[in-house]
Amino acid sequence: MSTDTSDAPADDAPADDAPADDAPSRAELAARVDELEDALAEAEGEDGKKMSIIATKGTLDMAYPPLILASTAAAFGYEVTVFHTFWGLEILHEERSKNLKLSSVGNPNMPVPNAVAALPGMDRVTTKMMEKKIADNDTATIEELIETSLEMGVEFQACQMTIDLMDYDEDDFYDGVTTGVGAATALQDMADADIQLLV
């Protein structure tokens, strides 16, 4: 037994308060904590709520859900984009949106059998009936919902491919509608959104 043994470990052991060579300094740690707190605040931020809707249908009945949800989400403080493609583009077409049709063919909830519903002029009849119900109930019109949504900051996007396909012009749409956008824009919006809907 040697008296040296008790001293040997003490030579190698680091002092209690001395940092190891690769340990971050106190200042570095403080900076990292600040960084993480900022990122957390950003992630938790209520202001960043987003909704993305893809509107693909242009019949009178199917034009309502995207517009009602878009304006309501805007009222909740969501940043809303509605990407209109294929027949959904009719909703943004200023003239055609005021004349959207309802079909009774293939809808078993309609009071007329399909064989009758398929007769010429029947879509016009069922559309008139629906328009009267909308007016009698003080349900907002499509035009009102679009104008209101635009005022609330909803971004309506018109699919450029469909504009070209239908041979429409940029001027055909309501003022404030975004044109010149495609699927990649919609996908980016969906990826960023808290709520994504296909209507």
Partner 1 sequence: MSAEFDITETLDVKGASCPMPVVKTKTAIDDLAEGDVLEVLATDPGSMSDIDGWAAGTEGVELVDQEEGDDVYRHYVRKTA
Nearer to partner 1, 73 or 89 (CB): 73
What one-character-per-residue DSSP string does 83-123 give?
A: EE-GGGGGGTBTTGGGG-----TT-TTSSS-HHHHTSTTHH
User: Using CA atoms, how far apart are residues 126 and 93, in angstroms rounded to an integer?
Assistant: 22
Q: Which of 56, 72, 160, 178 binds partner 1 (CB under 8 A)?
A: 72
Beta bridge partners, 155, equal 81
Nearer to partner 1, 70 or 177 (CB): 70
Nearer to partner 1, 145 or 186 (CB): 145
Q: Which of 51, 54, 55, 74 binds partner 1 (CB under 8 A)?
A: 74
Nearer to partner 1, 148 or 160 (CB): 148
Closest CA to 146 of 137, 161, 158, 135: 158
Least separation in angstroms between CB 146 and partner 1: 12
Least separation in angstroms between CB 76 and partner 1: 5
Residue 40 within binding range of partner 1, rule CB under 8 A? no
Q: Return the amino acid letter for 121.
A: G
Least separation in angstroms between CB 169 and partner 1: 30
Least separation in angstroms between CB 47 and partner 1: 8
Residue with tokens 């008139």: 128
Least separation in angstroms between CB 192 and partner 1: 19
Residue 152 within binding range of partner 1, rule CB under 8 A? yes
Residue with tokens 């693909």: 56
Q: Return the amino acid letter for 133.
A: K
What one-character-per-residue DSSP string does 64-88 give?
A: HHHHHHHHHHHHTT-EEEEEE-GGG
